Structure 1
Amino acid sequence: MDLLALADFNLVARHGGFGRAARATGRPKATLSRRVAELEASLDLRLFERGARMLKLTEEGRALFERTGALLTELDETAKAIASGGHSPRGRLRISAPLLFSQTALGKLAAGFVRKYPEVQLEITTEDRAVDMIEEAYDVVIRVNPEPDESLVGRVFLYDRLVVVASPDLPRPAGRNAVPAVSRGAMNQAESWEVTTSAGKFRLVARPVLSVSSFVMVRDAVRAGVGAARLPLSLAIPDLATGRLVSWGEVEGFQTALWALYPTRRLLSARVSAFLDYLKEAFPRGAPEELAAYME
């Protein structure tokens, strides 16, 4: 197989078209088209469906792109490392991370990482959706309790728990009385929260009064005394320490794990390995208190 033609195929697939690839790289569009056609002829496969205004990978083309893109990147990085006389992390590192982790810690983490590795160009996108690492060209994806994916491997680097918190001015409900509640996302008209304290377990009936889209908004509403809420312990620790919020106990049987995911491959690039090691250094115990320290 012609590696140059394969590289041009990956270039076109990554940019989503011959014209876009040509503009991004300064290569002639006709050359890219000819190389891809030659590759299709040598494989006796159609790799792209060509329309009047669109270019789409075939099933065989997508499989080839997913399996060869990472290998070509590794070859390029290996050549650059040998040429520079070492394996110092360098080049672009694209990361997708969830909203809460990005808001509370990732800014400081990213700043420390680029100070330590100044030859790495770090790009971070904040989103909670499940991204396609191969299709969208991410090197690392950080997710909370991700679904199993055989195409990815990963490491847990942080654990967290949910606690029920409220303003000190909000009285705890007596008996089966409901407490006004703030929720992240939709909530039933009445829910039962199983809560554990040092004195034992009890059930709390929660009546929703406010629904918002982020835990930071939940925390701010609880600070204002609107109601009680379930918050990640890491987010609540600073306010619990100052007395701005009080804890009514931990939510029974609920733990989150923060994973760093990356495509399955035998050799990781130096910059991905460096970032994974940096996360381990930042959270050596993987405890919520370590994450809370970034919010000070």
Structure 2
Amino acid sequence: MNLIALADFNVVAAHGGFGPAARMLDRPKATLSRRVAELEQELGVRLIERGARRMRLTEEGRVLHERTRGLLAELQEAGEAVASRAPLPSGRLRISAPMVFAHVVLGQIAARFALAYPQVELEVVAEDRLVDPVDDGYDLVIRINPPHDELLIGRRIQSDQRLLVASPSLAIPAAWAGEVGVVPLPAVLSTATPPGVTWAIQTAAGEGQEILPLSVLRLSSLLMIHEAALAGVGLAMLPKLLVEKDL
């Protein structure tokens, strides 16, 4: 019997549905539904009756849940007991992270980790390309606003905001001040920004405003965009993590 599918089934059964179980595990409902369907196919019985508004266990599902949930809990406790007796971590840990996050956050974290676990060879690669953990040989990949990928298991480690920023020295034509509708303003853009994109922002007063960035300079790195914005070249849309000290 597929123990992973069995564990997913027990979580769904314990929480009364795919939605609550998906929120608890932080995984897509479609993945849990597929796993339960695979388990049903393997056993040759239906375990869950799926309704439009609610689900319920079949008699076979109730029996399976009652007889296996304790066993799975014992297996987890046994694994945790063995892990607690394991020696200090050792080996190689290779991580890919976005440029800004790596430069602003991961340097200090990596240093603390290296001091705490000297037997681990930690390698952090700062890059903005979308890497493949398997093909590119990474143990961990940090991504910004990633799409759902059923082949990967993810966890949110930090939240941030994007802020529209500019140097106080930036000259904005008075004719544009207070303009209604889409406001065109000089901006520093990423080379990945498509033509005609607009920025929807919320002002300090809570009002919505749409900005049309007029490209004055295009750069491939947010770190370079940050420096250009500080120099007064134009507005920039940057993560709060990068500009908080300047603000």
- The alignment's TM-score, normalised by the length of structure 2, stands at 0.58
Q: 1:186 to 1:127 in 2, by over 3 A?
A: closer
Q: CA deviation at 1:184?
A: 1.3
Unaligned stretches of 5+ residues in structure 2: 1-78
Match in the other structure for 1:196 = 202
1:207 deviates by 1.0
Structure 1: any 5+ residue segments left out of the alignment? 1-77, 241-296
Query: Does the aligned pair in 1 maintain the 2:104–2:241 contact within 8 Å?
Result: no
Find the aligned partners of 2:131 and 2:192 in 1 and give their Cα distance. Answer: 23
What residue is the counterpart of 1:220 in the other structure? 227
Partner of 2:246: 239
Q: Distance in 2 between matches of 1:192 and 1:124?
A: 34
Q: Is the 8 A contact 1:189 1:207 kept in 2?
A: no
Are the aligned partners of 1:189 and 1:208 in contact in 2 as well (CA < 8 Å)? no
1:229-267: CA deviation from partner (whole Å, max 9, x where unpaired) = 111111111110xxxxxxxxxxxxxxxxxxxxxxxxxxx
Give me the TM-score of the superposition, normalised by structure 1: 0.49
1:119 is aligned to 119
Aligned-pair CA distance for 1:139: 1.3
Question: Do the aligned partners of 1:188 and 1:208 also contact (CA within 8 Å) in 2?
Answer: no
Question: Which residue of the partner structure matches residue 109 of structure 1?
Answer: 109
**Residue identity matched to 1:227:** G
Determine the structure 2 residue equivalent to 1:151.
151
Q: What residue in structure 1 maps to residue 213 of structure 2?
A: 206
> Which residue pairs with 1:183 in the alignment?
189
1:122-161: per-residue Cα shift (whole Å, max 9, x none)?
1222222232322333211111122322222121001111
SS of residue in 2 equivalent to 1:135: coil
1:36-47 matches, within 5 Å, as none
What is the CA-CA distance between 1:163 and the residue it aligns to? Answer: 0.8
Once the two structures are TM-superposed, the CA of residue 191 in structure 1 deviates from its matched residue by 4.2
Contact 1:195 1:201 in 2 (8 A): yes
Q: Percent same amino acid among aligned pairs?
A: 42
- Could you tell me how far apart the structure 1 residues matched to 2:136 and 2:165 are? 38
Deviation of 1:168 (Å): 0.9
Distance 1:131 1:187 in 2: 20
Letter in 1 for 2:202: T
Deviation per CA, 1:34-65: give whole Å up to 9, x if none: xxxxxxxxxxxxxxxxxxxxxxxxxxxxxxxx
3-state secondary structure, aligned to 2:157: strand
1:193 shift after superposition:
2.1
Tell which has more relative contact order, 1 or 2 (C-alpha 8 A, sep 6+). 1
Structure 2 residue aligned with 1:42:
none
Matches within 5 A, 1:277-292: none
Preserved CA contact (<8 Å) 1:95 1:141: yes
Provide the C-alpha distance between the structure 2 equivalents of 1:126 and 1:198, rounded to a whole number of angstroms: 33
Partner of 1:161: 161
Q: 3-state SS of the aligned residue for 2:133?
A: coil
Query: RMSD of aligned C-alpha atoms?
Result: 2.4
Checking the alignment, whether the CA contact within 8 Å between 1:96 and 1:124 is kept in structure 2 is yes
| Other structure's SS at 2:106 match | helix
Partner of 2:141: 141
